Structure 1
Amino acid sequence: MALGDHKAESETQENGHANGELSPTNFSVPPRERPMIHRATDAPLCERCRDLELTFFDPDCPGCQLLLQDMNLSVSQIFAIIRQWVPQVQRRIDILGEEVLRRGAHVNDRDGLTDMTLLQYACKAGATGIGSVEAASRLAELLISKGAEVRIRSRWTNMAALHYAAYFDVAVLISMLLKASGGRDVDNLCREYDNGTPLHIATTNLCFEAARCLLQHGADPTIKDGAGRTPLECIPDTSGLDATSETAIIATKMRILLKDAEPLTSQKNAPQYDMPSYETVSGKVLLSSRGLKLGERVIIGGVKMGTLRFCGTTEFASGVWAGIELDEPEGKNDGSIGGIYYFKCAPKHGIFAPLSKITKSNSPATTPRGSRPSTPQRRRLSAPKMDFSHVTARVETGLRKRSSSMTSEPGELEVGDRVIVAGQRTGVIRFSGKTDFAPGWWYGVELDKPRGKNDGSVSGVRYFSCEPMKGVFAPPSRVTR
């Protein structure tokens, strides 16, 4: 059918596009039952764009809009348009994707040049600066609702939709894809990236939001890629950059994020250049890297509300700790531990927690009168010096577990129990107790599959026996029934 045969329809479209908006066509062809690969071709250009020697299809051009409204425009040609990496095209990915489907394409059809599906293109189009997260999300949601297969990989890049979403830092689509797959592919390896996981891809490219989203969905930060690197070790070295540059700040935030996520056994072997000692960094800098500051409202462990009063190193445990003044008397202290004040508040209103347990809250403050932050100072009363050499990883922070089905504490689980480690790896507890490699209580788990780190021994000390790579140790907070 020629363009001239659509005079009335063209006039309608011209009126509809007077403001430069692109709208979907009003025809639809029943979809094919089986997917196919569409041959590679060039993107169309209207006469006006050719006369102007433009090199890309412009959805804002009335002439290009008419081309898109022509039902004779092939799926191959629309794929060619989608391939064009320009904002004008990528920000209209939802409408372009709909046009492919209106022409009878199967939801899993592929572009013959890139071997990519519409879902993979949608993940790419969510890139900040070039694409539109909103448009990409609309198309992805439509495709998934129509049965799009989220695990399809491009034969050329070996990347699935999740890998593209991680590469282009599109956290919204990562959540959407993992929900569709039930989270089963959160650690799927990609040959193009040294057999790394989506988390490796995110850290390599400093995609902070993608990395955080993947960890929230259970990504394993201890998996090593084909080069023997964990995601933490893939973060680019920014030591030669200005510490205030955007790249250096993101890299610092990423290291903090991954350092908090990795178990202690992995942290001990991490390279020094990628894991600076955060005890030498001021609490203010660490808070700033997390978008927090003293005096702000926070949520602790997803349960308790309070006001952030302190952030820094302490004498009761290693590392950096946050001191929070709770709204309700559900804490453990008055801002002091072992005779040292880190901040001041009413009795039973103070608790201390790792930074990883704290998130910002938008709730208004209900701070009791008379409370105020303070620098650590000794109480004037005479108190005996306390020995903290015995303090383990389970320093009391005043936090109660939310549910026995979510996290475990020493004594809740027993040797022989079936468990899930870090939300995804299943196995059987073979050891429960204290170890020589790290303080605190640890569970030794024999995994069902060889996705562990050892055979039940660490640093020459055997805690249980199992096949190589089936043994893993985890603290109670990472083990669930």
Structure 2
Amino acid sequence: MTKEDVSEPVERDTILGCQTTLSSHQRPVIHQVASAPMPSDYEFSFFDPSELQCREVLLDPSTTIPELFAVLRQWVPQVQRNIDLIGKEILKRGCGVNDRDGLTDMSLLHYCCKAGAPGIGDADTAASFARQLLGLGADPNLRSRWTNMRALHYAAYFDVPQLIQVVLQASQPGEVDATCSDFDFGTALHIAASNLCASAVKCLLELGANPAFRNEKGQCPADVVPDPLDMPLDMADAAAVAKELRTLLKRALPRPSSPLPLSVQAQYPPALSDKARIQLATMRIRLGERVVIAGQKVGTLRFCGSTEFSGGLWAGVELDKPEGKNDGSVAGVQYFTCRMKHGIFAPLSKITKPLERHKISTTKTSASIRPPRRIDLSRITSKINTGKQKETYSTGEKDGPCNWAKEISYFICSPLEEIMDALLKTTHAIKDLCQPHTNQTHWRNSSLNFFLILPLSERNNSKCARYVGLWVIS
């Protein structure tokens, strides 16, 4: 949403001695992007309010709000040290106290927190103007949609303790640990520590920032301080600051006097709410039992209940392997205790009991089956003595090869191959099956009996069935 014109004012406020008109019903708007208004024949590339030509442009009523926001974006001392002068002109033109710059999505309070940066701006001037803005209703919790940073985060990033104090005085208790997604959901203390902003770190600790707060990577502020050993020699001063901050933040961490061993803690699980107890009873799961998360990660259930980081029932699991995200704590709240990277939280619906694995005997796969081989039966004939006369049984070729046996051998596969070799090659085995008194019906019955004593897994074998069928009709 963009808005150049403002509605008719309904109340008046005084800012730095100048009359400005603000509407109490005006909704915050995002002003469109414009370029900074530079005087003609101006020799510098940046805006300098102390120069006569620039001062005339600044005070000219035709200079628009977007153009003045463009001036504030210039990161030079001439602009940042005049944040109050430029901000006053923006408000005089009807800009809402919570309106945003269309390019950066920053409000005047955000710009004010930047303007106190050491070496660039004037912290005292910026802090004074910030109080004026907060008195007019500036929202200290407003976030830039591009960086997701609040005014507190900007003040910590640019190492301006004066602005940190002003913003927190206007904020609710606990806002000192407000997180920012662009910094791995770390707090202002994380932001200051990672940028070696020593003054901001000390100020935040004095105002109650939590040094044990962990971001989504499981890092506390001391963990995000750059390693001094990784810095080049020309950054010796920065390395000294990093070493100092690490020591300061580690000393600020709470140290329990007598922490219980993990084995002892496991014997005393946290108390369950009625809702959590009923749900676990329905699932037939108890604290301390083995569980599986989404069918993948295995561990021990250590916590079940509501949390501060999300609604609903959550399960805290201590994993067997370091595949987790924390040590049982989230956003500074300790729900259970385990080793780092062994803790993980999941919705209770994702938790199941591990399935009992039984040893299942499997048949040989096709990859392990040896390919069928042909058996040369040209010299073997099958003769049955019926008591009348000797007769050679074949498939129509007198004294020729046993064609049906060849067809049978083609369909033989392991593990029947050895059996068939014995039946077809060994003469005495054939004689055992075909005694002189055995008739053709007995032959068929013997074949079927042989089939029935096969393992159950082989009875459904199509090749085995083909073999028996050929044997029977022979």
TM-score calculated relative to the size of structure 2: 0.51
Partners of 2:112 and 2:155 lie apart in 1 by 9
Taking the aligned partners of 1:27 and 1:64, their CA distance within structure 2 comes to: 22
Identity of aligned residues (%): 43
Q: Summarize the alignment of residues 12-91 of structure 1 with structure 2, pairs less than 5 Å apart.
A: 28-31=20-23, 33-49=26-42, 52=43, 54-91=44-81
Matches within 5 A, 1:397-408: none
Tell whether the 8 Å contact from 1:24 to 1:99 is kept in structure 2 after alignment: no
Worse overlay, 222-231 or 141-150: 222-231
The structure 1 residue matched to 2:173, chosen from 183, 187, 202, is 183
Please state how far the C-alpha of 1:30 moved relative to its aligned partner: 4.0
Q: Please report how far the alpha carbon of residue 243 of structure 1 lies from its aligned counterpart in structure 2 after TM superposition.
A: 11
| 1:48 counterpart SS class | coil
Q: Return the match for 1:95 from 73, 85, 88.
A: 85
What is the match of residue 335 of structure 1? none
Counterpart in the other structure of 2:131: 141
Greater shift after overlay, 194-203 or 215-224?
215-224
Paired residue for 1:129?
119
How far 1:25 sits from its partner (Å)?
9.5
Decide whether the 8 Å contact of 2:124 with 2:162 is kept in 1: no
Match of 1:151? 141
Q: Secondary structure at the match of 2:211?
A: coil
- Number of the residue aligned with 1:112: 102
1:186-231 Cα offsets, whole Å, 9 max, x none, are: 1111111111111110000000111111111211111221222111
The alignment yields a C-alpha RMSD, in angstroms, of 3.1
Question: C-alpha displacement at 1:257, in angstroms?
Answer: 1.4
Aligned residue identity for 2:198 = F
> How far off is 1:458 after superposition?
5.6
Q: 1:256 to 1:74 in 2, by over 3 A?
A: same
- Corresponding position: 1:257 with 2:248: yes
Give the secondary structure class of the aligned counterpart of 1:73.
Answer: coil
Choose between structure 1 and 2: higher helix proportion: 2
Alpha-carbon distance, 1:60 to partner: 1.7
Does the 8 Å contact 2:22/2:96 carry over to 1? no
CA distance in 2, matches of 1:70, 1:56: 18
* Preserved contact between residue 235 and residue 251 of structure 1 (Cα < 8 Å): yes
The alpha carbon displacement at 1:62 in A equals 0.3
Unaligned runs of 5+ in 1: 1-22, 266-391, 394-415, 417-445, 461-466, 470-481
Equivalent position SS for 1:164: helix
Kindly provide the CA deviation profile for residues 169-189 of structure 1, in whole angstroms up to 9, marking residues without a partner as x: 001111111110033311111
Partner of 1:449: 308
- SS for the counterpart of 1:55 is coil
What corresponds to 1:396 in structure 2?
Answer: none
Distance 1:247 1:161 in 2: 25
Q: SS at 2:41's partner residue?
A: helix
Aligned partners of 2:228 and 2:242 also within 8 Å: yes
**Unmatched segments (≥5 aa) in structure 2:** 1-14, 259-270, 272-304, 310-329, 347-474
Paired with 1:106 and 1:459, the residues of 2 have a C-alpha distance of 50
Distance 2:149 2:76 in 1: 22
Letter in 2 for 1:167: Y
In terms of Rg, which structure is larger? 2
Cα distance in structure 1, aligned partners of 2:134 and 2:228: 39
For 1:252-287, what per-residue CA distance to the aligned partner results, in whole angstroms no more than 9, with x for missing partners? 22112101111236xxxxxxxxxxxxxxxxxxxxxx
Q: In structure 1, how many angstroms separate the alpha carbons of the residues matched to 2:336 and 2:218?
A: 21
Number of aligned residue pairs: give it: 263
Q: Which amino acid aligns with 1:93?
A: I
Letter in 2 for 1:233: D
Shift in alpha-carbon separation, 1:255–1:109, aligned structure 2, 3 A: same
Cα distance in 2 for residues equivalent to 1:120 and 1:85? 14
Q: What is the letter of the counterpart of residue 236 of structure 2?
A: S
Q: Which residue of 2 aligns with 1:16?
A: none
Q: Structure 1 residues 55, 449: CA separation in 2 closer, same or farther (over 3 Å shift)?
A: same
- Residue in structure 2 matching 1:227, options 217, 220, 231: 217
2:152 aligned counterpart, secondary structure = helix
**Helix, strand or coil at the partner of 1:154:** coil
Question: CA offset at residue 447 of structure 1?
Answer: 10
Greater fraction of residues in strand: 1
Matched, 1:236 2:226: yes
* Aligned CA distance change for structure 1 residues 226 and 64 (closer, same or farther; 3 Å): same
**TM-score, length-normalised on structure 1?**
0.50
Cα separation, partners in 2 of 1:30 and 1:147, compared to 1, 3 Å: closer
